[in-house]
Amino acid sequence: MSSILNCIRADDVMATLLEVKDLVVKFALRGGDVTATNGVSFDLARGERLGLVGESGAGKSVTGFSIINLISQPGYIASGSVNFHGENLATMSAARLRTIRGNRISMIFQDPMMTLNPVLTIGTQMIETLMAHNLQMCKERARGIALEKLRKVHIPSPERRLEQYPHEFSGGMRQRIIIAIALLTDPELIIADEPTTALDVTIQAEIMDLLIELCETEGMGMILMLDTCRCRSGNWTLAVMYLRRTGY
């Protein structure tokens, strides 16, 4: 299979945060295994931003899910490695992975309404997330952190918003809340799987600018999956994924 790659690298040389090498993901079906990614390789430095661009079905989302080992059956990682600070997430024990996934690595999913629980307030969902990752944290402290993160993503009147339900927000506001939830544990890396897909063009630009702002102010690395290149500003590494493959 052929591969196409475009790279625009930042000048700064930084320590490697994530290294994906020869990642092959397959789905075991009755008619035989289907390959979803076929030898994906890239690396990401601390604070670096990678834009993974490709058409629908190229394997972007599967790559993102594989990084944090969220591929469910019948899918499985057939070969390759995903090294985060030198530890291979692909072969890591479930207990060890839980200390990293959602804590040091967070993910922003495509559809906020599929991510947020419609019968719980935003505050309940944010507070429960924090307390699940830190069993020693009290509810008052968790609420304070939730308010802080809502302010970071420019949600107005955050105290009132914590008491509201997902359906009371616009699409753009729900996506900002999802980003705030991803920031709760101060992750080193955020994986954003087409976070602007369901939004209109104006809101897409606002969300993209917000993600760039947060990476710069918080010093996070980010992998951004997109079907078209909308990396309008900042230093980006751009990789084009085609036919389930990419590489440097």
Token code pair at residue 186: 């101060």
Q: Is 187 exposed, middle or buried (0-12, 13-18, 19+ CB in 10 A)?
A: buried
Tally of CA atoms within 13 A in the half-sphere of 158 that contains its CB: 18
Q: Which amino acid, residue 182? A: A
SS (H, E, C) the chain: CCCCCCCCCCCCCCCEEEEEEEEEEEEEECCEEEEEEEEEEEEEECCCEEEEECCCCCCHHHHHHHHCCCCCCCEEEEEEEEEECCEECCCCCHHHHHCCECCCEEEECCCHHHHCCCCCCHHHHHHHHHHHHCCCCCHHHHHHHHHHHHHHCCCCCHHHHCCCCHHHCCHHHHHHHHHHHHHCCCCCEEEEECCCCCCCHHHHHHHHHHHHHHHHHHCCEEEEEECCCCCCCCCCEEEECECCECCC
What confidence tens digit (pLDDT) does each residue in 178-231 have? 999 999 999 999 999 988 776 777 788 888 888 888 888 888 999 998 876 655
Residue 59 has a pLDDT of 87
Q: What letter would DSSP give residue 72? A: P
Give 45-104 pLDDT, tens digit per residue.
988 999 888 888 888 999 999 999 999 889 999 999 999 999 999 999 999 999 999 999
Instruction: Give me the domains of the chain, ranges plus CATH numbers.
Output: 1-104+189-248 (3.40.50.300), 111-184 (no CATH)
Give the HSE-up count for residue 11: Cα atoms under 13 Å, Cβ half-sphere: 0
Q: Distance (Å, rounded) from C-alpha 49 to C-alpha 58?
A: 20
Instruction: With cut-offs at 50, 70 and 90, classify the pLDDT of residue 1.
Output: very low
| Token code pair at residue 165 | 């339900």
Distance CA 62, CA 72 (A): 10
> What are the tokens at 113?
């309404």
Q: What is the pTM of this model?
A: 0.84
